[in-house]
Amino acid sequence: MIKTILLNSRPEGKPSVSNFEFKTEDIELTIKEGELLLETEYVSVDPYLRGRMSNAKSYVPPFELNQPVQSGIIAKVISSKNDNFKEGDYVSGMLSWKTQQVSNGEGLNKVDPSKAPLSAYLGILGMTGLTAYCGLTEIGQPKKGETLVVSGAAGAVGSVVGQIGKILGLRVIGIAGSDEKIELLKSKFGFDAGINYNTTKDMTAAIAEAAPNGVDIYFDNVGGPISDAVLVNINRLARIIVCGAISVYNNTEAPKSLSVQPFLVKNSALMQGFIVSNYAEKFPEAMTQLTSWLAEGKLTYSETIVEGFDNIPQAFIDLFEGKNKGKMVVKI
């Protein structure tokens, strides 16, 4: 019995469960020479998938309708006719939302469950950690003593960015949407200050107070009014790392924000959008660094693990309500 989740229709605004279709097939998969049979263990749900569900031009092609959705997945090798993988291995890769599937091994990496929990390879030792590390170091060019603001700070990427910021000697301010998250930022992740945007009336003033020397680096996961408030507080030669814009992904009309140009001109400031694959040549260095910081206890992470294949779409939708703390993962 194999279950698959297909994209049934393109979301308008916020995605709903009805955009997805479940298919159950009573078949047994077989493999040919060079192939391997995989059983899904963990499925990553990420805000960027929203973009692929639309039909708009973007850095990756849109998902096709009536085809399986794909995301980062950790799977167990059930059987193998591929010399690079053997039964019992665990692999990570971009795979389909299926309980079982056949692969030719391309794009899969072996992961070691003795070094870290399997789910970590979807998060801090996966795309999440690499995004945080490469964005902050390559674009942010952090210098000890500078001030870093992170939006979506309790999210998967944000919580890692803040911790790396502390390791590198920055003053780190996190913005998140609940008092519970703010508490977590400070107690678990070592942020210097946190701002709850849901209870703060004047975000511009709150950021100014938390960053008395101004903002040198802004790691932006959200866009929208929160980013407007940070922009007003940037310093000369500030670097704004544009990683995501979750606050506007579900907008059906192109959203308006404070015009950035006057702030960029008067501060000689930089805004740079990126996707992690731009920095592929940095991945070996980044993985070595992240694994060692994790082993030394300098880096920690939180995950929200949802149980059950059938709950993948809802877990994805819940990202847009901020229901996750840290990386959102579905355990099959």
Among 13, 18, 24, 59, binds a copy of itself (CB under 8 A): 59
DSSP string, 142-196: --TT-EEEEESTTBHHHHHHHHHHHHTT-EEEEEESSHHHHHHHHHTS--SEEEE
Among 65, 270, 287, 305, which residue interacts with a copy of itself (rule: CB under 8 A)? 270
Of 199 and 259, nearer to a copy of itself (C-beta) is: 259
Structure tokens at 196: 């709850």
In the complex, what is the shortest distance from the CB of residue 33 to a copy of itself, in angstroms, rounded to a whole number? 38
Nearest to 69 by CA among 129, 23, 38, 122: 23
Given candidates 250, 272, 302, 314, which one binds a copy of itself under the rule CB under 8 A?
272
Residue from 167, 208, 242, 305 binding a copy of itself (CB under 8 A): 242
Cα 179 from Cα 322, distance rounded (Å): 13
Nearer to a copy of itself, 48 or 293 (CB): 48
Report how far apart, in Å, the C-alpha atoms of 153 and of each of 33, 166, 185, 210, 257 are: 46, 13, 7, 15, 21
Q: State CA 84 to chain mean position distance.
A: 29
Minimum separation from the CB atom of position 244 to a copy of itself (A): 6
Contact segment (CB under 8 A) with a copy of itself among 61-69, 126-134, 240-248, 305-313 equals 240-248
Q: Does residue number 7 form part of the binding site for a copy of itself (CB under 8 A)?
A: no
Least separation in angstroms between CB 255 and a copy of itself: 5
Intra-chain end-to-end CA distance of the chain, in Å:
14
Dihedrals φ, ψ of 238, to 5°? -65, 150
Q: Distances from the Cα of 250 to the Cαs of 54, 72, 320, in angstroms?
A: 10, 21, 8
State the minimum distance, in angstroms, from the CB of residue 193 to a copy of itself. 22
Identity of the residue, 20 or 263, whose beta carbon is nearer to a copy of itself in the bound complex: 263
Based on the shown chain and the rule CB under 8 A, indicate whether residue 263 belongs to the binding site for a copy of itself.
yes
Length of the chain equals 332
- In the block, tokens 């971009």 appear at 94
Q: How far is the CB of 51 from a copy of itself (least distance, A)?
A: 7
List Cα–Cα distances, 326 to 17, 304, 319, in angstroms. 22, 6, 10
Asked if residue 259 binds a copy of itself (CB under 8 A), the reply is yes
From candidates 29, 102, 264, 287, binder to a copy of itself by CB under 8 A: 264
Q: Which stretch binds a copy of itself (CB under 8 A): 125-133, 205-213, 216-224, 289-297?
A: 216-224
Examine residue 220 and tell whether it contacts a copy of itself (CB under 8 A): yes
213 scored as a contact of a copy of itself (CB under 8 A): no
Site of tokens 């391309």: 106
Among 278, 304, 311, 314, binds a copy of itself (CB under 8 A): 278
Q: Which long-range contacts (CB under 8 A, 24 or more apart) does 180-184 make?
A: 181/153, 181/154, 181/322, 181/325, 182/154, 184/154, 184/302, 184/325
Nearer to a copy of itself, 33 or 253 (CB): 253
Q: Which residues bind a copy of itself (CB under 8 A)?
A: 51, 57-59, 220, 223-224, 227, 236, 242-245, 248-249, 254-275, 278
